[in-house]
Amino acid sequence: MKLAESTIEEDAAVLDPATWKPYKIIKWPVTKQTNTVPLIKELPDNTLKNFQFWMYDPISSQAVIVCDDAEYKFIDTQDLMCFGENDINLLAKSQIQCDPQYEVCAKSWTGVVAQIMNFKLWSGQHTRVETQLFGPYVGRNIPILPELQRKKKEQAKKQKREQQ
């Protein structure tokens, strides 16, 4: 495999204090390959029908959902969108278990469940734009994205028609 060639540029504005020579900046060209991120498969609704409890595991930083017949482990909060509407409602009704010192980390998982319920992002309902709601915005007011703004306008128009 051929390695990409780099270019070296000197930055005259920034000097090394030890040698008083300009710093060198190495630039690499953009690669032609793209990374593919595997998305978790959607699970059928009522997958958690034999739900017992869910907990935050601080050792692996995972949420663990325990059922009678299976155990689900999630590293990323966004992966909870693989569950259906009934499963998300079940997670929302049950409290996540954790050690008191890790309560803040565990609350980020329940915050995601609330966001999924609020924006109806359960399995089969989410779009690429709406998946941007996770990450730094979990548990905070979410900025209105163009798609959500359009949906709100459509809902407002529909309510006005029903009132008339």
pLDDT at 17 over 80: yes
Any domain includes 60: yes
Residue span of the structural domain in which 71 resides: 51-149
Least confident piece of the model among 36-40, 68-72, 141-145: 141-145
Any domain includes 73: yes
Any domain includes 130: yes
- Quote the pLDDT of residue 128: 43
The predicted model gives 120-145 an average pLDDT of 55
Any domain includes 8: no
Any domain includes 11: no
Percent of the chain with pLDDT over 70: 77
Distance CA 61, CA 56 (A): 7
Any domain includes 32: no
Residues, the chain: 164
The 10s digit of each residue's pLDDT in 48-76 is 999 999 999 999 999 999 999 999 999 88
Any domain includes 133: yes
Q: How many domains does the chain have?
A: 1
- Quote the pLDDT of residue 32: 67
Any domain includes 6: no
